[in-house]
Amino acid sequence: MSAPRQRVLTRVNQEGRGADAPPPPLRPATATSALFPQARHHAQFAARAPCQNLCSSRARPRRFASVTGPWGDKAYKEAGKFCNPNLIWTGKSSKYTSIPSFDALEQNPDASYLHICANETIHGVEFKDYPTPKNKDSILVADMSSNFCSKPVDVSKFGIIYAGAQKNVGPSGVTIVIVRKDLIGKAQPITPVMLDYKIHDESNSLYNTPPCFAIYMCGLVFEDLLAQGGLKEVEKKNQEKAGILYNAIDGSGGFYVCPVEKSVRSLMNVPFTLKRSELEKKFIEEAAKEGMVQLKGHRSVGGVRASIYNAMPLAGVQKLVDFMKDFQARNP
């Protein structure tokens, strides 16, 4: 592989770790590797879901999962093709508006790992505190695709963090995996080469031609995150943006409603409905005329959804809130 590509990968990895500028965006411990595999987000469901990278045995390993939304459900179903997933909790009956206390849940002592989706984009629920598997030999695996680099994370709590990182870090197609080094090299013999973390680790993510431009863009984003003061400062900005929007919803007297429990409301995705559903189409159309687009809720739930990722400025959120207040005044 060419030297220029090698230099890009090395520089971006160093910037992501932010060794000289705390708090860094990625901050893997020295006992972890940060990979840029070309197998995207959905492929990572298979890469670790069947324990292809977590269990060298051909026996069907056990894992347990909490399903807090559609993305967690996709990972759970993919795991069922290769191992014996034990569903310890699902929020489906409550329309994915909450996250449980894991201390009260029964966990399989033989399970290899616990899988969670850190932030569910469709329903707007987000883990504020990450669970600890009760089995000391189990590891925590997290899909952080939609809140990666939105706040500091103690990487030492996880065995694997993976992200289709196009929300906050790079162009669509970028995948980032942070994996504990002692978990590398345990892939089953049947694991495809492009899903084997050992292959990517040993080749510095250069096993074949990488999406060099996309990874280069990640480096620019990491530089910007560090220039802002690191992820603690980024988190403060995200909390301020989300707080303004949630306060507008909660203070509308029921005109706008967010169904998610306040303790687990997402900083990235804010879903809400209007008191009269027939107003939602009008709301979205009028907002678009004011330059605010893609506010339509996911087709599976409807309503309105404001995605306020890192790149959304405070002024953008304030503009939406002002519009919401004006729309309510005109449609009592």
- What was the pLDDT predicted at 20? 35
Q: Which amino acid is at 200?
A: H
pTM above 0.95, yes or no: no
Domain range for 287 is 231-330
In this predicted structure, what is the pLDDT of residue 316? 98
Query: Are 195 and 282 in a shared domain?
Result: no
Report how far Cα 190 is from the mean position of its chain's Cα atoms.
28
Say if residues 125 and 99 touch (Cβ distance below 8 Å). Answer: yes
Cα distances (Å, whole numbers) of residue 139 to 34, 113, 154, 160, 330: 17, 5, 14, 8, 53
Most confidently modeled range among 71-85, 185-199, 210-224, 278-292: 278-292
In this prediction, residue 10 carries a pLDDT of: 64
Shared domain check, 242 and 216: no
Is residue 60 very low, low, confident or very high in pLDDT (cuts 50, 70, 90)? very low
- Total domains, the chain: 2
Residue 167 sits in a domain whose CATH number is: 3.40.640.10
Looking at 210, 227, 244, the residue that finishes a domain is 227
Let me know whether 23 and 78 are in one domain: yes
Judgement on whether residues 238 and 96 belong to the same structural domain of the protein: no
- Does the structure show a pLDDT above 80 at 321? yes
The whole-angstrom separation of Cα 124 and Cα 152 is: 19
Of 167-171, 180-184, 265-269, give the range with the top mean pLDDT: 265-269
What b/e readout covers 248-271, taking b as 16+ CB neighbours within 10 angstroms? bbeebeebbebbbeeebbbbbbbb
Q: In whole numbers, what is the pLDDT of the chain averaged over residues?
A: 84
Pick the closest to residue 204 from 27, 1, 19 (CA basis): 1
Task: Give the active site residues.
Answer: 71, 143, 167
Q: Helix 231-250 to helix 314-330 angle, to the nearest 10 degrees?
A: 0
Same domain? For 82 and 121 the reply is: yes
Domain end residue (candidates: 178, 203, 227): 227
Q: Which two tokens stand for residue 77?
A: 């179903």
Looking at the fold, whether 166 and 133 belong to one and the same domain comes out as yes
Both 207 and 168 in one domain: the answer is yes
| Amino acid letter for position 163 | A
